[in-house]
């Protein structure tokens, strides 16, 4: 049986959280028998859709995982980023008929909450893709 392959798009705006998320996603992928073919790093969650689109267009990639943390600041910027990104990510999954595991925490999340949930969000995102493949 052929091993399923995935790509990961990582928002590394919060570098410490991002590194933990990437490490957990890779570990979970290996445990579930998924091969990570490609990892793309972007500055923020809003930047995820374009590299995700390119990744999903690759016939060698069966699915993808998006990771990051959208932390609340003094304005509602976090909500705009999170909602817009989620909508575009969903549209790309449907357009390419490939599963995308959503591992982006937030909006309305503190930095402490994002740190505490980094592992959980990463593991769940990879598990979601594995189940859909």
**Active centre residues (catalytic):** 77
* Cis peptide bond N-terminal to 49, omega within 30: no
Q: What is the DSSP string of 36-86?
A: EEEEEEESSGGG-HHHHHHHHH-TT--EEEEEEEEE--SSSHHHHHHHHHH
């Amino acid at each position: 049986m052929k091993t399923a392959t995935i790509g990961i798009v990582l928002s590394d705006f919060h570098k410490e959280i991002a590194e933990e998320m990437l490490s957990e996603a890779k570990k979970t992928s290996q445990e579930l028998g998924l091969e990570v073919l490609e990892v793309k790093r972007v500055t923020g969650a809003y930047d995820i859709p374009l590299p995700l689109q390119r990744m999903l267009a690759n016939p060698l990639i069966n699915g993808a995982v998006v990771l990051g943390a959208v932390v609340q600041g003094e304005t509602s910027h976090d909500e705009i980023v999170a909602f817009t990104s989620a909508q575009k990510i969903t549209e790309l999954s449907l357009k390419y008929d490939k599963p995308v595991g959503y591992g982006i925490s937030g909006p309305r999340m503190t930095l402490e909450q994002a740190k505490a949930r980094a592992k959980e969000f990463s593991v769940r995102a990879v598990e979601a893709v594995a189940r859909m493949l």
